[in-house]
């Protein structure tokens, strides 16, 4: 079988050699350069917007404001509140106010400088608690199961309570956002760096007021997304399309790093209050969660980010009594959006920190507490979803415990004394694969498979390669399903004209959804071939040749629609997702008791992700996700003043580098998901979700201090150590 093999990434060589064409490398003859005039204020009325002088400058080809949009001034998302260009009011620093297309960079700079805007400042709302008090609620969800408050009041129940804070996280993809639009007929072709061509297509068609067929979107090689190129690229996509239509010329809009970091989406900052109760022998009885996210100025994806956090709020455990109230609020800050984990890392930091505190209160080993409560086949999640299959959580816990030497290290580390203390911590999580009950309308995915006369195979899908290894795993699935050599498979750049709307490349859904669509198409081609080749024993190329000679059509479209789920938003009960991936991380640290510095020495990251299509890309997902999680746990945060992000460069927004990378041991266990292609589930996001609470649990093991806020910077750890020593006298 080719599925399960460690084949080399088909796209690796071009990327390593530098010959892959990212959007900035794409040469378009005669293209104009574009720029965006952005709001300097978090909240203001636009009293005057005068583009006359700018329009008349030499080399300036177009200056556009909201008034110049032929279609709707709207980027279609869940709540349709997000304008392409500000109209009358700006609601966050960096919001787009006007667009310029010019001959060259000098003319562009002159054009942007010549636009006259007068703002009347309005009071900005910058803090999420303040927005909550003002009733600025973008979305709210709940889960109700049993009687949480009653259970938490029982005399036999031990209750721990905490309030946790999580920061913004910047995606820090290597390639900033960029788009090139070329006029074509009454519409445009837009090439660019993105995760979701069909989102960009809807935004472009809406802004231009054209048919979807005239908004053709082609994804170029993309240098990372991590959720940051899910909804956010719809804005530059629509903007560059407007300029291309207005000028009749090709137009390039490439964001600078500072611009990209300052104005594109981020992980939502979160505040989570939680009460968790268990019996003295460690059985979870109740969990009460108040989950708050800062959605920023526009709703964008906040409702679905919040939904995922809501249904996963109590962790991968059996909890009979649950009350979750989750809200996302509107502030005058950059819209928060999708980021790997999608509303889970925030609430999982709280939930798993609670589990660690509960273990301490019960005088139990944190792993033992998880084992007692772990969800197994036959159990129900907090939304009442009965799990029947592919629940490998127990095995994941066993494997990470064994590999890390959990028991002996938990016992021996505390006896160490001295300036540098060692600790080992654990955290677990689960992840509903795919879009689930909230994203049903975007669920299906398509594929087009064409076999050429020489036996080579061209595959088009609607999902995108964003570094995660889609091309590799879909090549393997194609080869497996058709019975052809994998070297003959070519996965095309996604283009909205090749396949029907296949939804977004998010939610760890790509392997499952596009994989199944390819299998559907391949099955049709095999069915056409079988009667011709019968039991001739011909190899692939000869079999294809025979079919071609007999004029058998060797092309097919495939379509994949996941099993239905039922969910009641009023009670938060039902099947939230089609299946779950399961994960646990063990992290080992050294903490300098004098400086508060934490060094992560090793991570064991275990995942039940169903059948692993390619172990190397799977391990790559784990290593990358864990490292991104270590950044979230230890160093990454944005500083804001008056709604402006102060650290908008890699010299000031710090992420882990190779030198900060510990040994990361990926452990993949395979509890097959029957509906997934060859039993596969999703692996894109689980690796990041449970890292931060494992780090803070390890810091607690090393030092005895609990942290309820990340990142665990040396300053925060030092302050916690100092507070304890002052308290202790």
- Residues that bind ligand MOS in the complex, under the rule CB under 6 A: 195, 227, 230, 338-340, 342, 506-507
- Give 326 or 338: the residue with its C-beta nearer to ligand MOS: 338
Q: Tokens 């809807």, residue?
A: 202
What SS3 state is found at 49? strand
711 cis-preceded (ω within 30 degrees of 0): yes
CA distance 374 to 355: 12
- Give 308 or 399: the residue with its C-beta nearer to ligand MOS: 308
The token pair that represents 36 in the structure block = 């965006």
CA distance 380 to 364: 25
Q: Minimum distance from CB of 443 to ligand MOS (Å)?
A: 14
What are the start-end ranges of the H helices in 232-335?
A: 234-247, 257-263, 302-311
- Give 198 or 413: the residue with its C-beta nearer to ligand MOS: 198
Q: Minimum distance from CB of 628 to ligand MOS (Å)?
A: 11
- Give 362 or 507: the residue with its C-beta nearer to ligand MOS: 507
- Give 71 or 337: the residue with its C-beta nearer to ligand MOS: 337
- Give 277 or 620: the residue with its C-beta nearer to ligand MOS: 620
The token pair that represents 172 in the structure block = 């820090």
- Give 252 or 340: the residue with its C-beta nearer to ligand MOS: 340
Please report, for residues 137, 232, 333, 419, 542, the alpha-carbon distance to residue 298 in angstroms, rounded to integers and kept in the order given. Answer: 11, 12, 9, 47, 57
- Give 115 or 445: the residue with its C-beta nearer to ligand MOS: 445
101 secondary structure, DSSP code? E
Q: Minimum distance from CB of 577 to ligand MOS (Å)?
A: 12
- Give 338 or 491: the residue with its C-beta nearer to ligand MOS: 338
Of 637, 606, 630, the residue nearest 688 (C-alpha)? 630
User: Under a CB-based contact definition with an 8 Å cutoff, are residues 388 and 377 in contact?
Assistant: yes
Q: Minimum distance from CB of 44 to ligand MOS (Å)?
A: 31
Of 729, 631, 61, the residue nearest 339 (C-alpha)? 631
User: Under a CB-based contact definition with an 8 Å cutoff, are residues 511 and 677 in contact?
Assistant: yes
User: Under a CB-based contact definition with an 8 Å cutoff, are residues 689 and 427 in contact?
Assistant: no
Q: Minimum distance from CB of 683 to ligand MOS (Å)?
A: 13
- Give 230 or 294: the residue with its C-beta nearer to ligand MOS: 230
E strand intervals along 208-341: 215-219, 251-254, 270-279, 284-296, 321-330
CA distance 355 to 367: 10
The token pair that represents 291 in the structure block = 């989950």
CA distance 465 to 121: 43
- Give 119 or 580: the residue with its C-beta nearer to ligand MOS: 580
Q: Minimum distance from CB of 434 to ligand MOS (Å)?
A: 10
Q: Could you write out the DSSP letters of every residue in 556-595? A: EEEEE-PPP--EETTTTEE--SS-EEEEEEEEEEEEETTT
CA distance 160 to 119: 49
Q: Tokens 């970091």, residue?
A: 261
Of 385, 471, 366, 468, the residue nearest 426 (C-alpha)? 366
- Give 101 or 304: the residue with its C-beta nearer to ligand MOS: 304
- Give 215 or 442: the residue with its C-beta nearer to ligand MOS: 442
CA distance 443 to 644: 36
- Give 111 or 562: the residue with its C-beta nearer to ligand MOS: 562
Q: Minimum distance from CB of 301 to ligand MOS (Å)?
A: 8
Spatial neighbors of 408 by CB under 8 A, at least 6 apart, are none
Q: Minimum distance from CB of 15 to ligand MOS (Å)?
A: 20
- Give 76 or 384: the residue with its C-beta nearer to ligand MOS: 76
- Give 231 or 480: the residue with its C-beta nearer to ligand MOS: 231
What count of other Cβ atoms lies within 10 Å of the Cβ of residue 692?
29
Instruction: Please report, in angstroms and rounded to a whole number, the separation of the first and last CA atoms in the chain.
Output: 65
The token pair that represents 387 in the structure block = 């799990």
Q: Minimum distance from CB of 149 to ligand MOS (Å)?
A: 33
Q: Minimum distance from CB of 228 to ligand MOS (Å)?
A: 8
Question: Residue with CB nearest ligand MOS?
Answer: 227
Q: Minimum distance from CB of 231 to ligand MOS (Å)?
A: 9
- Give 230 or 575: the residue with its C-beta nearer to ligand MOS: 230
Biggest distance spanned by C-alpha atoms of the chain: 90
CA distance 403 to 604: 7
Q: Minimum distance from CB of 642 to ligand MOS (Å)?
A: 28
Q: Minimum distance from CB of 298 to ligand MOS (Å)?
A: 17
Of 199, 173, 164, the residue nearest 266 (C-alpha)? 173
What are the start-end ranges of the H helices in 166-233?
A: 197-208
120 burial via Cβ count (<10 Å: 0-12, 13-18, 19+): exposed
Q: Minimum distance from CB of 506 to ligand MOS (Å)?
A: 3
Q: Minimum distance from CB of 339 to ligand MOS (Å)?
A: 5
Please report, for residues 74, 178, 224, the alpha-carbon distance to residue 239 in angstroms, rounded to integers and kept in the order given. Answer: 11, 11, 21
Q: Minimum distance from CB of 34 to ligand MOS (Å)?
A: 26
User: Under a CB-based contact definition with an 8 Å cutoff, are residues 236 and 179 in contact?
Assistant: yes
Q: Minimum distance from CB of 445 to ligand MOS (Å)?
A: 14
- Give 305 or 459: the residue with its C-beta nearer to ligand MOS: 305
Convert 609-636 into a string of H (helix), E (strand) and C (coil). Answer: CECCCCHHHHHHHHHHHHHHHHHHHHCC
The token pair that represents 667 in the structure block = 């452990």
Give the dihedral of Cα atoms 466, 513, 168, 74; nearest 10 deg. Answer: 90
48 burial via Cβ count (<10 Å: 0-12, 13-18, 19+): exposed
Q: Minimum distance from CB of 550 to ligand MOS (Å)?
A: 44
């Amino acid at each position: 079988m080719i599925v399960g093999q460690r084949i080399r990434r088909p796209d690796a060589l071009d990327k390593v050699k530098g010959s892959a064409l990212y959007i900035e490398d794409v040469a378009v003859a005669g293209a104009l350069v574009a720029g965006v005039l952005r709001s300097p204020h978090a909240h203001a009325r636009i009293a005057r917007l005068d583009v006359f002088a700018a329009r008349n400058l030499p080399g300036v080809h177009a200056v556009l404001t909201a008034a110049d949009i032929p279609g709707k001034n709207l980027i279609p998302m869940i709540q349709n509140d997000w304008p392409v260009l500000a109209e009358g009011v700006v609601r966050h620093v960096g919001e787009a106010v006007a667009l310029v297309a010019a001959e060259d960079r000098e003319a562009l700079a002159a054009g942007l400088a010549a636009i006259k805007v007068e703002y009347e400042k309005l009071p900005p709302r910058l803090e999420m608690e303040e927005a909550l008090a003002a009733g600025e609620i973008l979305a709210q969800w709940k889960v109700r199961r049993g009687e949480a408050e009653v259970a938490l009041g029982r005399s036999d129940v031990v209750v721990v309570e905490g309030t946790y804070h999580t920061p913004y996280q910047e995606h820090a993809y290597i390639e900033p956002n960029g788009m090139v639009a070329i006029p074509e007929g009454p519409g445009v072709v837009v090439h660019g760096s993105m995760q979701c061509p069909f989102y960009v297509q809807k935004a472009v068609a809406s802004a231009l007021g054209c048919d979807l067929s005239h908004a053709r979107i082609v994804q170029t090689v993309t240098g990372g997304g991590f959720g940051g190129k899910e909804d956010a690229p719809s804005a530059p996509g629509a903007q560059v399309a407007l300029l291309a239509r207005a000028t009749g010329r090709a137009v390039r809009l490439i964001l600078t790093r500072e611009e990209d970091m300052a104005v594109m989406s981020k992980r939502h900052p979160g505040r989570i209050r939680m009460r968790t109760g268990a019996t003295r022998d460690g059985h979870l009885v109740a969990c009460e969660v108040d989950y708050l996210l800062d959605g920023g100025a526009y709703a964008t994806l906040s409702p679905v980010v919040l939904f995922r956090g809501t249904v996963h709020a109590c962790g991968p455990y059996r909890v009979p009594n649950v009350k979750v109230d989750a809200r996302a609020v509107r502030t005058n800050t950059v819209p928060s959006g999708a980021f790997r984990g999608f509303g889970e890392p925030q609430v999982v930091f709280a939930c798993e920190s609670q589990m660690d505190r509960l273990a301490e209160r019960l005088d139990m080993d944190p792993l033992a507490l998880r084992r007692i409560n772990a969800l197994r086949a036959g159990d129900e999640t907090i939304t009442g979803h009965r799990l029947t299959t592919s629940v490998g959580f127990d095995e994941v816990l066993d494997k990470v415990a064994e590999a890390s030497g959990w028991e002996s290290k938990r016992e021996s580390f505390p006896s160490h004394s001295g300036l540098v203390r060692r600790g080992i911590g654990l955290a677990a999580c689960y992840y509903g694969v795919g879009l689930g009950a909230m994203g049903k309308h975007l669920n299906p995915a398509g594929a087009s498979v064409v076999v050429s006369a020489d036996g080579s195979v061209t595959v088009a899908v609607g999902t995108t390669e964003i570094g995660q290894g889609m091309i590799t795993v879909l090549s393997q699935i194609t080869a497996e399903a058709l019975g052809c050599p994998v070297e003959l498979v070519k996965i095309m750049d996604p283009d909205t004209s090749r396949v029907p709307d296949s939804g977004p490349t998010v939610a760890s859904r790509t392997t499952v959804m596009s994989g199944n669509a390819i299998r559907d198409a391949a099955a049709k081609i095999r069915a056409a071939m079988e009667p011709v080749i019968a039991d001739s024993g011909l190899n692939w190329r000869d079999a294809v040749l025979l079919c071609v000679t007999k004029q058998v059509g060797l092309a097919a479209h495939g379509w994949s629609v996941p099993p239905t789920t039922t969910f009641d938003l009023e009670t938060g009960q039902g099947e939230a997702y089609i299946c779950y991936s399961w994960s646990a991380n063990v992290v080992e640290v050294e903490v300098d008791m004098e400086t508060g510095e934490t060094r992560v020495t090793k991570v064991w990251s275990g995942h039940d992700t169903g059948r692993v299509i390619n172990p190397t890309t799977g391990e790559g997902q784990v290593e990358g996700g864990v490292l991104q999680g270590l950044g979230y746990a230890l160093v990454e945060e944005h500083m804001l003043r008056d709604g402006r992000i102060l650290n908008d460069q890699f010299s000031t927004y710090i992420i882990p580098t190779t030198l900060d990378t510990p040994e990361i041991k990926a452990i993949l266990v395979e509890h097959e998901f029957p509906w997934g292609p060859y039993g596969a589930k999703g692996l894109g996001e689980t690796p990041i979700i449970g890292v931060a609470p494992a780090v803070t649990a390890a810091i607690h093991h090393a030092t005895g201090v609990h942290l309820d806020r990340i990142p665990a910077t040396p300053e925060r750890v030092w302050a916690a150590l100092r507070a304890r020593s002052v308290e202790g006298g």
